[in-house]
Structure 1
Amino acid sequence: MLVVDDNKVIRQLIRVNLELEGFEVVTAADGAECLDVVHQVRPDVITLDVVMPRLDGLRTAARLRSDSRTQRLPLAIVSACTQYEVEAGLDVGVDAFLAKPFEPNELVALVRQLVERGESDPSVQFGNDTAAGANASAPAGGTSGAGRGMGGGEGAECAGRSGG
């Protein structure tokens, strides 16, 4: 699991909530750092903020989609989504959106759903030689129906949307 957000507090909030649910989490402060570490970390899922210095989340997603090694890696935008961001994210191939502020259980459910989707699609894997402990894995008994009930307030137009 790779969490990309320029806000250290948000990065740590996401990290702690996912680690409490058994995910192994690596963080990056912006899209440029994400692209630097993604091939070393080999995450199962990447969450991206949109507004970040150097390389924003939408351009990062576009670059990940243009690389054959990461083109099918599940990507989620975790941001105070605008309609433009949702449309642009869908255009570049983002899989899901979660509006800030979010409930921790919404985040966990979304990540579990994306991990399960990636596990069921062998083309998502980085190859046959995954580094020990590098990939996040959901604990047994994942949540069915993940993605339901997300949002409901300001910015809810992006919560739980899925692009494909």
Structure 2
Amino acid sequence: MYGSVSEKPAPARGNGQRILVVDDESRIAELLSTTLELAGYRVGTAATGGEALDRVGQDRPDLVILDVMLPDLDGFTVCRRLVAADENHPPVLFLTARDSLDSLVTGLGIGGNDYVTKPFRIAEVLARVQALLRTRNRRREESPPAYADLVLDETTRQARRGRRALELTPAEFRLLRYLLVNAGQVLSKEQIGEHLWVADHRRYGDNAIEKLVSRLRHKVDEAGPALIHTRRGFGYWLGGLASG
């Protein structure tokens, strides 16, 4: 029997990370979505492999919970296509029946990161999710933050766009690093405020964040194609040229 939402969760909580739940059983998808949202994650759902691939491309989730048995493409095929499409694909947590464990060797060999057997305990799913997200964040932080010709030097606390040195304030440097580490993801003003000012983020309103982003954008994009963009009503993101 599947765990209920009231089951005691693992102590760690999410911080707005995006999770895509892929399962054609609506009650399982609803249970996982509700529990993960209560635990501090933002959750999307898909009922087929094709829909899952579309959602990953559009939403760029931080993690995918993927049922092995789907009505169109099986979970292994979905995982293979995610890996082929993007070397920085999100980690995959497979959901599988106990009598299909032997097939998980294949799934974990093609890019899957972990698995939970059905029927599952909610606490176990939360623990696996937290572990995979910690590993993903640690790998990101170990790599020098960079995108295209924009690079940060953590040792000297300096940034460069091509050959041009960027004179950044400490707050601008922290914001740029946050955008780089999360390149391609839209970050809300609340997320930015919490990251930059932690417990004191409520002292700084949206106007302060808008001004900070504006100053950073001017310095980064002054002499090159724009890398910092606004998604109106949602937040800011760093990536390739805006489509319009």
TM-score range for the pair, normalised by the shorter chain length: 0.7 to 0.9
The offset of 1:128, in angstroms, is 1.8
- Residue 40 (structure 2) pairs with residue 17 (structure 1): no
The offset of 1:20, in angstroms, is 1.2
The offset of 1:95, in angstroms, is 0.3
The 2-side partners of 1:85 and 1:9 are apart by 24
- Residue 146 (structure 2) pairs with residue 91 (structure 1): no
State the AA in 1 paired with 2:183.
N
Runs of 4+ in 1 over 6 A off after TM superposition: none
SS at match of 1:120: helix
State the AA in 1 paired with 2:70.
M
Unaligned 5+ residue runs, structure 1?
Answer: 134-164
The offset of 1:85, in angstroms, is 2.1
The 2-side partners of 1:121 and 1:59 are apart by 25
Query: How well do the aligned residues superpose, as a CA RMSD in angstroms?
Result: 1.9
Deviations, residues 111-138 of structure 1 (Å, cap 9, x unaligned): 1111111111227x996241135xxxxx
Name the residue aligned to 2:97: 80
The verdict on how the C-alpha distance between 1:126 and 1:25 changes in structure 2, with shifts beyond 3 A counting, is farther
SS at match of 1:60: helix
The offset of 1:70, in angstroms, is 4.3
SS at match of 2:42: coil
The verdict on how the C-alpha distance between 1:99 and 1:68 changes in structure 2, with shifts beyond 3 A counting, is same
The offset of 1:42, in angstroms, is 1.1
- Equivalent residue for 2:72, pick from 28, 38, 54: 54
Give TM-score, length-normalised by structure 2.
0.50
The 1-side partners of 2:47 and 2:77 are apart by 15
The 2-side partners of 1:60 and 1:126 are apart by 26
- Comparing 75-84 and 38-47, the one that deviates more: 75-84
State the AA in 1 paired with 2:185.
T
The 2-side partners of 1:126 and 1:31 are apart by 28
- Equivalent residue for 2:185, pick from 124, 130, 136: 130
- Equivalent residue for 1:45, pick from 63, 81, 84: 63
The 2-side partners of 1:126 and 1:7 are apart by 34
The verdict on how the C-alpha distance between 1:126 and 1:6 changes in structure 2, with shifts beyond 3 A counting, is farther
Unaligned 5+ residue runs, structure 2?
Answer: 1-18, 144-179, 189-244
Q: How many residues align?
A: 131
The 1-side partners of 2:88 and 2:22 are apart by 15
Higher strand share: 2
- Residue 73 (structure 2) pairs with residue 63 (structure 1): no
The 2-side partners of 1:54 and 1:126 are apart by 34
Name the residue aligned to 2:54: 36
Higher helix share: 2
The 1-side partners of 2:181 and 2:56 are apart by 10
The 2-side partners of 1:8 and 1:30 are apart by 11
Q: Percent identity?
A: 35
